[in-house]
């Protein structure tokens, strides 16, 4: 077939290209070395080489895209695109490592220096001319010779900060921006529990287990360097970040149950944020005594304070820029010019990251909450074109960044030069990761189920256990600092953990879903009514008080102030605030309110929840609803939960009727009351 031929052609040309461009470059460099060597020439050469290196990655991504297409075209779901990207990365890594031999580079010189600090900028006087050098980083003394030998492999190695400053932000922002907000907020309590409590549990369980493992290794004298308890905890933190990519892509494709999706997605997204801040807090743990690896209460408290400070700081920065964007798009009529609108949205989202980094908070965390805020408020103010544009833009950036990271992961397995693979540590890590995930999911689910009316069933729990893949965040956190022995061993081990979970757990998702009998093929729109019903009931339970308070506040005050959607403030604020309300309410909100009538699903949800706070009529409709049965069949087993759902399905219509009767109306404003009355009639 033509497509296959094309595919092989590209694969071959890539291999050829790598060999040629890597092999040809030193020859050119020698040529230029024989000439009168000018700095310009060197810089040009280096730029040319950089272009070629970047080109390798781009071709790799192109190849991945073509193969993904082939897989999708044939509905082959055992290997996700990220897994594929890793495989291609591995192949290129092998070629670079073994097939290409580059003679020793002349471009590196070693010199002594008598300043006692390392300056950020170095001016070097070389035979009368001044050259400026910038600091790249410290190199441990025993690697100095390696540096000179393996210049080539080092060149395809990116600055680890690239991941944090360029590649991760779009991924995390996209995760926040594409959160299915309704289901997310419904399950907010459980998600927060999994993300915060769960990650901390997982971190400490893994840390303790690894400390035991390290102790054991010391007994057998298998350990080649220092590995302290803080290192173990750090390892626990970085390996606790689960990846929201691979499994969720499959979930999305198979249209898995929306609550399952929301739980897993919300958990893995927030997880990353917690893990980042947790790991930086652990690094910040520094007792004041001589021995920096003893236990000290003050240092612990400081670390804990730092965790809280950085997390809440990043959170509020993210939310703040989101709100500012919402306000800008609310008060200007920017929606008439989609390009400006999209550009503003993009810039504001990016500035969140920079602002957080400039303030010393964590940009990645800020970007996540900015994404959620943007999706919740700003999105409603955008023109339909910009809504599409921004979604597509971040989808594309996310796709590119993700596949780049995963293919780079494959590459580093062979090109990274300080790998330390220790079999005992690796076995211990795999075990610890497994136990840590179990200690996170099962006990927490048990506790949560005590409070939830709508239980997290055991098959959901097994699925969440299975779906704890490690991905981009774990990798980025591990590669960020590979200076010490402990960090190098962690990095090597984490690579294997990521490979294993992405290939095995990612590849087995479909099997696991059918094995656990989790509903698939649920149309999200069709599903709304079912889940709305059951969820709304669960909001009446104690477990959902958080959601209820938040929802009412958000719907009645924040949404009207920040967006063009939602009810006009004039109806939600108490009558005494009439003038303020009228000032803040845009005419468009009134219009929108009228249009909402057509948009059923939103209206039902919205009004239904207003109900809850103004009257308890839904309690009675619920009781009535228990007698109607829609007879809809589910693919799951007929447990009592399913019965619950079917009942919920019935009361849906009644709530709708109830809503129209009970909605709180404020007729004190003559100019608006007509349109509102029209709406209700």
Which residues in the 106-165 window bind a second copy by CB under 8 A? 106-113, 115-141, 144, 147-148, 151, 161, 165
Sole binder of a second copy in the list 212, 289, 360, 575 (CB under 8 A) = 360
- List the interface residues with a second copy, window 13-32 (CB under 8 A): 21
The span from the CA of 278 to the CA of 652, in Å, is 43
Burial of residue 549 (number of CB atoms within 10 Å: 0-12, 13-18, 19+): exposed
347 near a second copy, judged by CB under 8 A: yes
In whole angstroms, the minimum distance from the beta carbon of 356 to a second copy comes to: 8
Instruction: State which H helix or E strand residue 124 sits in.
Output: strand 121-126
Sole binder of a second copy in the list 320, 327, 431, 435 (CB under 8 A) = 327
Burial of residue 571 (number of CB atoms within 10 Å: 0-12, 13-18, 19+): buried
- List the interface residues with a second copy, window 46-75 (CB under 8 A): 46-49, 51-52, 54-55, 58-59, 61-62, 65-66, 68-69, 72-73
Long-range contacts of 666-671 (CB under 8 A, 24+ apart): 666/570, 666/571, 666/575, 668/575, 668/578, 669/570, 669/578, 669/582
Q: Report how far Cα 111 is from the mean position of its chain's Cα atoms.
A: 43
Could you give the string, one character per residue 72-91, with x where binding to a second copy holds by CB under 8 A and - elsewhere? xx------------------
- List the interface residues with a second copy, window 169-188 (CB under 8 A): none
450 near a second copy, judged by CB under 8 A: no
Sole binder of a second copy in the list 346, 430, 550, 634 (CB under 8 A) = 346
The span from the CA of 331 to the CA of 516, in Å, is 50
- List the interface residues with a second copy, window 32-51 (CB under 8 A): 37, 39, 42-43, 46-49, 51
Nearest to 609 by CA among 640, 563, 655: 655
Residues 371/372/377/380 CA torsion (nearest 10 deg): 70
Under 8 Å between Cβ of 171 and 402? yes
In Å, what is the CA distance from 150 to each residue of 87, 495, 570? 23, 21, 69
In whole angstroms, the minimum distance from the beta carbon of 69 to a second copy comes to: 5
* Nearer of residues 110 and 633 to a second copy, judged by Cβ: 110
* Nearer of residues 38 and 549 to a second copy, judged by Cβ: 38
In whole angstroms, the minimum distance from the beta carbon of 50 to a second copy comes to: 9
* Nearer of residues 360 and 443 to a second copy, judged by Cβ: 360
The span from the CA of 505 to the CA of 467, in Å, is 7
- List the interface residues with a second copy, window 400-429 (CB under 8 A): 400
* Nearer of residues 15 and 55 to a second copy, judged by Cβ: 55
Helices (H), 143-245: 144-149, 151-155, 161-162, 168-177, 181-186, 188-192, 199-219, 229-239
337 near a second copy, judged by CB under 8 A: yes
The span from the CA of 679 to the CA of 681, in Å, is 6
The total number of residues written for the chain in this structure: 681
Residue 104 DSSP symbol: P
- List the interface residues with a second copy, window 649-668 (CB under 8 A): none
Under 8 Å between Cβ of 393 and 346? yes
In whole angstroms, the minimum distance from the beta carbon of 21 to a second copy comes to: 6
In whole angstroms, the minimum distance from the beta carbon of 359 to a second copy comes to: 8
351 near a second copy, judged by CB under 8 A: yes
CA angle 445, 450, 451 (to 5 degrees): 100
* Nearer of residues 162 and 626 to a second copy, judged by Cβ: 162
Helices (H), 332-457: 338-359, 363-373, 379-381, 384-415, 423-451
* Nearer of residues 21 and 496 to a second copy, judged by Cβ: 21
- List the interface residues with a second copy, window 263-282 (CB under 8 A): none
Using CB under 8 A, count the residues that bind a second copy.
99
In whole angstroms, the minimum distance from the beta carbon of 128 to a second copy comes to: 8
In whole angstroms, the minimum distance from the beta carbon of 478 to a second copy comes to: 17
Tell me which stretch binds a second copy (CB under 8 A): 355-363, 472-480, 529-537, 600-608.
Answer: 355-363
* Nearer of residues 151 and 527 to a second copy, judged by Cβ: 151
In whole angstroms, the minimum distance from the beta carbon of 47 to a second copy comes to: 7
In whole angstroms, the minimum distance from the beta carbon of 385 to a second copy comes to: 8
Sole binder of a second copy in the list 334, 479, 495, 663 (CB under 8 A) = 334
In whole angstroms, the minimum distance from the beta carbon of 398 to a second copy comes to: 9
Most distant CA pair in the chain, distance: 94
In whole angstroms, the minimum distance from the beta carbon of 45 to a second copy comes to: 8
253 near a second copy, judged by CB under 8 A: no
Under 8 Å between Cβ of 275 and 243? no
* Nearer of residues 2 and 298 to a second copy, judged by Cβ: 2
In whole angstroms, the minimum distance from the beta carbon of 159 to a second copy comes to: 10
103 near a second copy, judged by CB under 8 A: no
344 near a second copy, judged by CB under 8 A: yes
* Nearer of residues 350 and 550 to a second copy, judged by Cβ: 350
Backbone angles phi, psi at 124, to 5 degrees: -115, 130
Backbone angles phi, psi at 637, to 5 degrees: -80, 160
In whole angstroms, the minimum distance from the beta carbon of 602 to a second copy comes to: 25
- List the interface residues with a second copy, window 365-404 (CB under 8 A): 389, 392-393, 395-396, 399-400
* Nearer of residues 18 and 444 to a second copy, judged by Cβ: 18
Nearest to 240 by CA among 441, 416, 463: 441
Paired tokens of 528 = 């709304």
* Nearer of residues 302 and 540 to a second copy, judged by Cβ: 302
Sole binder of a second copy in the list 79, 232, 238, 348 (CB under 8 A) = 348
Round to the nearest angstrom and report the end-to-end CA distance of the chain. 62
CA atoms within 13 A on the CB side of 10: 17
Q: Which residue has the tokens 């048990």?
A: 446
Sole binder of a second copy in the list 358, 504, 643, 665 (CB under 8 A) = 358
- List the interface residues with a second copy, window 615-634 (CB under 8 A): none
Backbone angles phi, psi at 169, to 5 degrees: -50, -50
């Amino acid at each position: 077939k033509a497509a296959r031929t094309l595919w092989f052609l590209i694969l071959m040309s890539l291999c050829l290209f790598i060999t040629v461009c890597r092999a040809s470059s030193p020859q050119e460099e020698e040529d230029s070395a024989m000439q009168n060597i000018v700095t310009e020439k060197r810089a040009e050469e280096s730029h040319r080489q950089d272009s070629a290196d970047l080109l390798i990655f781009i071709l790799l991504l192109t190849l991945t895209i073509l193969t993904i297409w082939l897989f999708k075209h044939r509905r082959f779901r055992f290997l996700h695109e990220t897994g594929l990207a890793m495989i291609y990365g591995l192949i290129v890594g092998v070629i670079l490592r073994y097939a290409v031999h580059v003679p020793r580079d002349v471009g590196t010189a070693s010199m002594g220096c008598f300043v006692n600090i390392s300056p950020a900028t170095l001016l070097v006087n070389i035979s009368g001319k001044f050259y400026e050098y910038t600091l790249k980083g410290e190199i441990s003394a025993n690697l100095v010779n390696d540096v000179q030998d393996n210049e080539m492999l080092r060149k395809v190695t990116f600055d680890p900060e690239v991941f944090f400053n360029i590649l991760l932000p779009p991924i995390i922002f996209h995760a926040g921006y594409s959160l299915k907000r309704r289901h997310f907020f419904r399950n907010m309590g459980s998600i927060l529990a999994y993300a915060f409590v769960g990650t901390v549990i997982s971190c400490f369980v893994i840390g303790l287990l690894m400390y035991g493992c390290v102790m054991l290794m010391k007994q057998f004298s298998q350990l080649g360097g220092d590995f302290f308890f803080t290192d173990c905890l750090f390892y626990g933190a970085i390996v606790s970040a689960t990846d929201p990519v691979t499994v969720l892509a499959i979930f999305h494709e198979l249209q898995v149950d929306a609550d399952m999706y929301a739980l897993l997605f919300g958990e893995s997204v927030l997880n990353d944020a917690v893990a980042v801040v947790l790991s930086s807090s652990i690094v910040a743990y520094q007792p004041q005594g001589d021995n920096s690896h003893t236990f000290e209460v003050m240092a612990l408290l400081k670390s804990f304070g730092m965790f809280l400070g950085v997390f809440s700081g990043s959170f509020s920065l993210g939310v703040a820029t989101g709100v500012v964007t919402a306000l800008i798009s609310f008060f200007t009529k920017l929606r008439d010019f989609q390009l400006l609108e999209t550009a503003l949205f993009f810039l504001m989202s990016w500035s969140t990251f920079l602002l957080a980094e400039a303030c010393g908070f964590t940009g990645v965390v800020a970007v996540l909450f900015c994404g959620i805020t943007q999706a919740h408020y700003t999105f409603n103010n955008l023109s339909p074109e910009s809504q599409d544009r921004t979604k597509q833009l971040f989808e594309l950036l996310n796709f590119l960044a993700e596949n780049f990271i995963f293919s780079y992961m494959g590459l580093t397995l062979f090109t990274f030069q300080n790998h330390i693979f220790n079999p005992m540590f690796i076995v211990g890590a795999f075990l610890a990761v497994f136990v840590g995930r179990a200690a996170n999911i099962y006990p927490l689910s048990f506790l949560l189920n005590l409070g939830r009316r709508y239980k997290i069933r055991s098959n959901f729990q097994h699925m969440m256990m299975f779906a704890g893949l490690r991905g981009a965040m774990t990798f980025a956190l591990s590669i960020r600092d590979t200076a010490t022995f402990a960090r190098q061993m962690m990095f090597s081990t984490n690579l294997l953990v990521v490979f294993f979970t992405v290939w095995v757990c990612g590849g087995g998702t479909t099997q696991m879903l059918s094995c656990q009998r989790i509903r698939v093929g649920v149309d999200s729109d069709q599903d709304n009514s079912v889940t709305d019903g059951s969820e709304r009931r669960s909001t009446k339970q104690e477990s959902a008080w958080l959601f209820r308070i938040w929802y009412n506040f958000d719907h009645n005050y924040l949404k009207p102030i920040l967006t063009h959607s939602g009810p006009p403030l004039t109806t939600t604020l108490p009558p005494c605030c009439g003038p303020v309300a009228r000032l803040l309410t845009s005419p468009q909100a009134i219009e929108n309110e009228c249009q909402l009538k057509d948009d059923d699903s939103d209206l039902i949800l919205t009004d239904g929840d207003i109900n809850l706070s103004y009257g308890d009529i839904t309690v009675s409709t619920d009781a009535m609803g228990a007698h109607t049965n829609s007879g809809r069949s589910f693919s799951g087993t007929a447990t009592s939960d399913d019965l619950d759902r079917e009942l919920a399905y019935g009361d849906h219509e009644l709530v709708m009727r109830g809503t129209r009767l009970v909605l709180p109306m404020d007729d004190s404003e003559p100019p608006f009351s007509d349109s509102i009355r029209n709406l209700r009639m």
